[in-house]
C-alpha cells in the first residue's frame, strides 16, 4: 500500500509539475498581449500590434502544450485516485466541469479568432478577441483554484451516510476565504513568469543587436509588469495567504517556517536553516527575532505554535520538503523584487538598454520564475499532506485499490520519456519563433 501511494503521488506530482510550466506563462502573457493590442489602438504604432501577434504565437504553442499535458491529469482522477473522485466528485466535479465547458472553450475559440481573424474582424474586434482569450485563461485559473481551495479549506459540503461528499451550498465554493488570496497570488506569480520571459527576449534582442527596437519595447513592458507583479505576489497576496495558513492550518505554518518548539513572547523569522527531524530543530539557522509574530499578527510578542503543540499524526508528511519549497519560493520572490527594482530604476534613468550586466541577468533569469511557481505549488500541496481534503480525507483513503504499484510505476516512466520529447520539441519551436522575431522590422516612433 505504501509503495502504491508513493508511486501514485510521484506520477501526479510529475505530470502536474510539467503541465503547469505552460499555463503559468499563458495566463500572464494573455494580459500582456491585451496590453500591447490596447496600446496599438491608442497610438496606432504598428510595432505594438506586431508585438501582440508575436507573443500570441508563443501563447498558442504554450496553450497547445498545456492541453496535451492536462488531459492525462484528468484521467488520473479516475485511474490512480478513483476513490477520491467517487467520494468528492459531487463537489470538485462542479468547478472542474465549469472550467472545461466555459473557460477552456472560451479561451480556445477566441484564440483562433485572434490568430487568423485580424483582417476579417477589424482592429477593435481583434482586440476583443484577445481580451476574451485573457478572460478565458484567467477564469480557468479561478475555477481550478476554487477546486484546490476547497481541498485546502472545505466549505459548503455535507457528508452522506455512504461517505460521499455533496455540495450543500454552491455559493460557498466561491466565497471560500481561501480562494481569493490563493487566486490573486497565483495570477501574480504567473505574471512574474511572463514578465521575466518577455524581458529576457527583449534583453536578448538588445544584446544581439537584432530586432533591437522590439527588444527595447519588450524590456520596458516586461520590467514594468514584472516589478508590479513581484511586489503584489509578496504583499498583499502572499501576506493574506500566509495569514490563512496560520488561521486554518497552523501545523502547516509551523512546518513551513521551521518552528519545532513554541516560542512565547514573539517568534523569529528564519532566513536560512536546515531541518533536523531527528532532534526536532533547525541547524545553522539565521533568524530575525520577533518579525514572524509581527507579520502574522501585527504584534511583536504574539505566540506562534510550534510542531510540538500538534499530534505527530497530523504533521505534514514531508516537513523538510515543505520547509525548503516554501523558502525557495520566498527567497526567489525577494530576489525578483530586487532585480526588477534595479531594472526599473535604470529604465527610468534611460540607462537600461546600455547596462549590459543587467540585461544579461534578465536574460538568464528565465528559469527561476518557473522554479518559484513550482516551489509555491509544492508548498501548498506538501502543506496539506497527509490529507487529500484537509482534516476530512487522508491520502490513503483516496487511492484506487485496484491499480497496482507496478502499473503506476510503468506509466510514470512512460510519462517521463514522452514529456522529455515533448519538452525538447517545445523548446525548439519557441526558439525558432524567437530567432525569427516579430513580423516587420518597424522602428518605434
DSSP string covering 376-445, please?
HHHHHHHHHTTEEETTTEEGGGTS-TTS-HHHHHHHHHHHHHHHHHHHHHHHHHHHHHHHH-SSS-PPP-
* Higher local confidence (pLDDT), 292 or 74: 292
**Cβ within 8 Å of residue 59, ≥6 positions away:** 25, 26, 29, 30, 33, 111, 133
**Boundary of a domain, candidates 391, 406, 426:** 391
pLDDT for the residue numbered 215: 97
Q: Which three cell numbers stand for residue 303?
A: 505566540
Which residue range forms the structural domain that includes residue 441? 1-159+396-445
Do both 244 and 265 map to the same domain?
A: yes
pTM of the model: 0.95
* Mean pLDDT, the chain, whole residue set: 94
Do both 133 and 84 map to the same domain?
A: yes
Residues above pLDDT 70, as percent of the chain: 98
Do both 221 and 111 map to the same domain?
A: no
pLDDT for the residue numbered 403: 87
Answer yes or no: is pLDDT of 443 > 80: no
**Residue 192 in domain:** yes
Scan for cell 509555491, then name that residue. Answer: 376
Do both 83 and 220 map to the same domain?
A: no
**H or E segment and range at residue 158:** strand 157-159
Do both 114 and 195 map to the same domain?
A: no
Residues above pLDDT 90, as percent of the chain: 89
Answer yes or no: is pLDDT of 365 > 80: yes
**Residue 335 in domain:** yes
Do both 383 and 408 map to the same domain?
A: no
**Boundary of a domain, candidates 391, 409, 425:** 391
> What's the structural domain count of the chain?
2
Do both 194 and 147 map to the same domain?
A: no
Answer yes or no: is pLDDT of 444 > 60: no
CA-to-CA distance for 191 and 184, rounded, in angstroms?
10
Residues 87-135: pLDDT tens digits?
999 999 999 999 988 888 899 899 999 999 999 999 999 999 999 999 9
pLDDT for the residue numbered 442: 46
**Residue 98 in domain:** yes
Do both 108 and 145 map to the same domain?
A: yes
CA end-to-end span of the chain: 66
**Residue 178 in domain:** no
Instruction: Work out the burial of residue 444: count CB atoms within 10 Å of its CB; fewer than 13 is exposed, 13-18 middle, 19 or more buried.
Output: middle
Give the mean pLDDT of 338-365: 98
Answer yes or no: is pLDDT of 229 > 70: yes
User: Which candidate, 187, 191, 197, 165, places its Cα nearest to that of 83?
Assistant: 165
**Residue 174 in domain:** no
- Kindly indicate the confidence band of residue 211, based on its pLDDT and cuts at 50, 70 and 90: very high
**H or E segment and range at residue 129:** helix 123-152
Do both 146 and 194 map to the same domain?
A: no
**Residue 165 in domain:** no
Residues 267-319: pLDDT tens digits?
999 999 999 999 999 999 999 999 999 999 889 999 999 999 999 999 999 99
**Residue 167 in domain:** no
Among the ranges given (141-150, 230-239, 404-413), the one the predictor scored with the smallest mean pLDDT: 404-413
Answer yes or no: is pLDDT of 353 > 90: yes
Answer yes or no: is pLDDT of 445 > 80: no
Do both 208 and 139 map to the same domain?
A: no
pLDDT for the residue numbered 351: 97
Scan for cell 496560520, then name that residue. Answer: 246
Do both 52 and 140 map to the same domain?
A: yes
Do both 265 and 136 map to the same domain?
A: no
**Residue 179 in domain:** no
Q: Which three cell numbers stand for residue 445?
A: 516612433
Give the mean pLDDT of 345-357: 97
- Kindly indicate the confidence band of residue 440, based on its pLDDT and cuts at 50, 70 and 90: low
Give the mean pLDDT of 238-243: 96
CA-to-CA distance for 57 and 78, rounded, in angstroms?
34
**H or E segment and range at residue 264:** none
Give the mean pLDDT of 164-192: 96
Amino acid at each position: 500500500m505504501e509503495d502504491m501511494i508513493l508511486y501514485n503521488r510521484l506520477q501526479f506530482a510529475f505530470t502536474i509539475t510539467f503541465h503547469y510550466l505552460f499555463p503559468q506563462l499563458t495566463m500572464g502573457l494573455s494580459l500582456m498581449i491585451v496590453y500591447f493590442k490596447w496600446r496599438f489602438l491608442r497610438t496606432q504604432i504598428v510595432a505594438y500590434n506586431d508585438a501582440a501577434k508575436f507573443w500570441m504565437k508563443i501563447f498558442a504553442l504554450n496553450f497547445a502544450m498545456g492541453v496535451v499535458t492536462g488531459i492525462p491529469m484528468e484521467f488520473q482522477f479516475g485511474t490512480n485516485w478513483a476513490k477520491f473522485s467517487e467520494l468528492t466528485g459531487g463537489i470538485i466535479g462542479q468547478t472542474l466541469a465549469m472550467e472545461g465547458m466555459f473557460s477552456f472553450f472560451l479561451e480556445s475559440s477566441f484564440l483562433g479568432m485572434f490568430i487568423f481573424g485580424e483582417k476579417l474582424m477589424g482592429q477593435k474586434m481583434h482586440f476583443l478577441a484577445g481580451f476574451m482569450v485573457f478572460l478565458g485563461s484567467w477564469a480557468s485559473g479561478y475555477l481550478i483554484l476554487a477546486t484546490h481551495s476547497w481541498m485546502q479549506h472545505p466549505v459548503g459540503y455535507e457528508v452522506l451516510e455512504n461517505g460521499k461528499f455533496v455540495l450543500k451550498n454552491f455559493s460557498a465554493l466561491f466565497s471560500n476565504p481561501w480562494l481569493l488570496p490563493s487566486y490573486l497570488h497565483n495570477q501574480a506569480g504567473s505574471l512574474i513568469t511572463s514578465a521575466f520571459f518577455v524581458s529576457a527576449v527583449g534583453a536578448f534582442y538588445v544584446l544581439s543587436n537584432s530586432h533591437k527596437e522590439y527588444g527595447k519595447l519588450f524590456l520596458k513592458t516586461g520590467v514594468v509588469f514584472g516589478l508590479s507583479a513581484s511586489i503584489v505576489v509578496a504583499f498583499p497576496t502572499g501576506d493574506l495567504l500566509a495569514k490563512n495558513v496560520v488561521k486554518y492550518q497552523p501545523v502547516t505554518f509551523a512546518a513551513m517556517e521551521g518552528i519545532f518548539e513554541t516560542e512565547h513572547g514573539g517568534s523569529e523569522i528564519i532566513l536560512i536553516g536546515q531541518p533536523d527531524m531527528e532532534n526536532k530543530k533547525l541547524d545553522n539557522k539565521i533568524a530575525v527575532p520577533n518579525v514572524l509574530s509581527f507579520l502574522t499578527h501585527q504584534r511583536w510578542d504574539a505566540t506562534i505554535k510550534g510542531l510540538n503543540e500538534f499530534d505527530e499524526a497530523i504533521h505534514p508528511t514531508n516537513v523538510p520538503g515543505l520547509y525548503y519549497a516554501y523558502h525557495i519560493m520566498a527567497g526567489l520572490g525577494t530576489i525578483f523584487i530586487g532585480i526588477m527594482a534595479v531594472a526599473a530604476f535604470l529604465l527610468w534613468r534611460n540607462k537600461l538598454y546600455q547596462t549590459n550586466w543587467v540585461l544579461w541577468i534578465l536574460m538568464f533569469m528565465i528559469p527561476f520564475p518557473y522554479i518559484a511557481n513550482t516551489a509555491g505549488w509544492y508548498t501548498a500541496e506538501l502543506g496539506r499532506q497527509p490529507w487529500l481534503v484537509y482534516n476530512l480525507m487522508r491520502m490513503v483513503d483516496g487511492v484506487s485499490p485496484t491499480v497496482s504499484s507496478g502499473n503506476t510505476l510503468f506509466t510514470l516512466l512512460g510519462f517521463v520519456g514522452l514529456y522529455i520529447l515533448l519538452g525538447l520539441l517545445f523548446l525548439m519551436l519557441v526558439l525558432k519563433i524567437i530567432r525569427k522575431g516579430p513580423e516587420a522590422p518597424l522602428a518605434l516612433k
